Amino acid sequence: MDCMPCFVRQALSAVRMVTDDTEAAGQILRDVLWEMSQMSTEQSPVVMAQRIHRLVRRLGGDVDPYSDAKDRCNRMALGLYPKAARLVRESSRPLETALRMAIAGNAIDLGPYQQVDLEQIERAITHAADSPLNGDFAGFAEAAARAGSILYLADNAGEIVFDRLLIEQLDPRRIVLAVRGAPVLNDARRPDAAIAGLTDLVEVIDNGSDAPGTLIDDCSDEFVRRFNQADMVIAKGQGNYESLNDADRDLFLLLQAKCPVIADKLKCPVGSLVVKRSGCGSGTESDQIVRDPSKASTGVTATPLEIPS
């Protein structure tokens, strides 16, 4: 129920991106309110958001409302990438710093935020560089050191540019990157991965779904196979946290707690950086083969990312 006001605000933002006509916008918004009146408030916020954004796209003429917004997010992130990359390069613990930058990028989220600007993301980088990391980073580092294969679930356009820093530290050769299968909010898709230079660096798949999270039942068979078989799953953002926290496998959720609902569930203040281990593997020893731990934190040298002037 607490998500309802936010969903109406998101719908209003999306509606304004598909039409300048006030009357048409009002009609789409009323249709969204009607759709919401038919929804159980017991279901996952990710399912509700999926239905709402799907409806806005359909009523708006099957367009992607966030197409321009995603371009702006990517450009903004590419502008700040050199700063984040330098922090990683100069760090004595580059894996941790890269993970912090990947979480900083999670601020580029047009779900909880109506807009995101350069100063806000620059502050997110500074904040992420030296604020407490909630959760189990040591567990993350150990799992990363042991995993033969890692499935990395991206969250948003723009954010995915910062994900590249973490992916480089984790050794791209063992990583498969998954993006959304269809447009929803400013969630990342294949073109966003390409702009971040990731399509040249790792295998990129999509999950076959238009949910702003990962609803396993809604994903393609191929995605589900990869999800089940990966030694380690890393999932970014609030939507993935909400949809995967109770998944049937162990995984690591990396996110910023951006709204009171999520912060409350995670028992941390709004704005916290979170490394949440969850699922059936959390707290138990797995019997995966130990890889050479040195590989987990050095990464490989990849094609330098082109930064727009």
**Can you give the binding site for its own copies, defined by CB under 8 A?**
1-2, 4-6, 8-9, 12, 22, 25-26, 29-31, 33-34, 36-42
* Of the candidates 69, 92, 85, the residue with the CA atom closest to the CA atom of residue 13: 69
Structural tokens at position 288 = 């995966």
C-alpha–C-alpha distance, residues 77 and 163, integer Å? 11
Q: How far is the CB of 46 from its own copies (least distance, A)?
A: 18
Q: How far is the CB of 221 from its own copies (least distance, A)?
A: 34
Q: Which is nearer to its own copies, 31 or 142 (CB)?
A: 31
Structural tokens at position 166 = 């973490």
* Of the candidates 105, 136, 59, the residue with the CA atom closest to the CA atom of residue 237: 105
Q: Which is nearer to its own copies, 67 or 114 (CB)?
A: 114
Structural tokens at position 306 = 């082109």
Amino acid at 108: I
Following CA atoms 279, 282, 288, 294 in sequence, which dihedral angle do they give, to the nearest 10 degrees? 120
Quick check: 29 and 11 in contact, CB under 8 A? yes
Q: Which is nearer to its own copies, 18 or 188 (CB)?
A: 18
Q: Which is nearer to its own copies, 51 or 100 (CB)?
A: 51
Edge-to-edge strand ranges of the sheet holding 251-256: 133-135, 273-278, 251-256, 232-236, 150-153, 175-179, 203-206
Q: How far is the CB of 118 from its own copies (least distance, A)?
A: 21
Following CA atoms 219, 236, 14, 112 in sequence, which dihedral angle do they give, to the nearest 10 degrees? 140
Q: Which is nearer to its own copies, 32 or 305 (CB)?
A: 32
State the first-to-last Cα distance of the chain, in angstroms, to the nearest integer.
44
Q: Which is nearer to its own copies, 3 or 76 (CB)?
A: 3
Contacts of 259 (CB under 8 A, 6+ apart): 6, 112, 238, 270
Q: How far is the CB of 15 from its own copies (least distance, A)?
A: 8
Q: How far is the CB of 7 from its own copies (least distance, A)?
A: 8
Q: Which is nearer to its own copies, 31 or 71 (CB)?
A: 31
Q: How far is the CB of 45 from its own copies (least distance, A)?
A: 13
Phi, psi of 127 (to 5 degrees): -60, -45
Q: How far is the CB of 70 from its own copies (least distance, A)?
A: 23
Helix, strand, or coil here: 290?
Answer: coil
Q: Which is nearer to its own copies, 114 or 120 (CB)?
A: 114
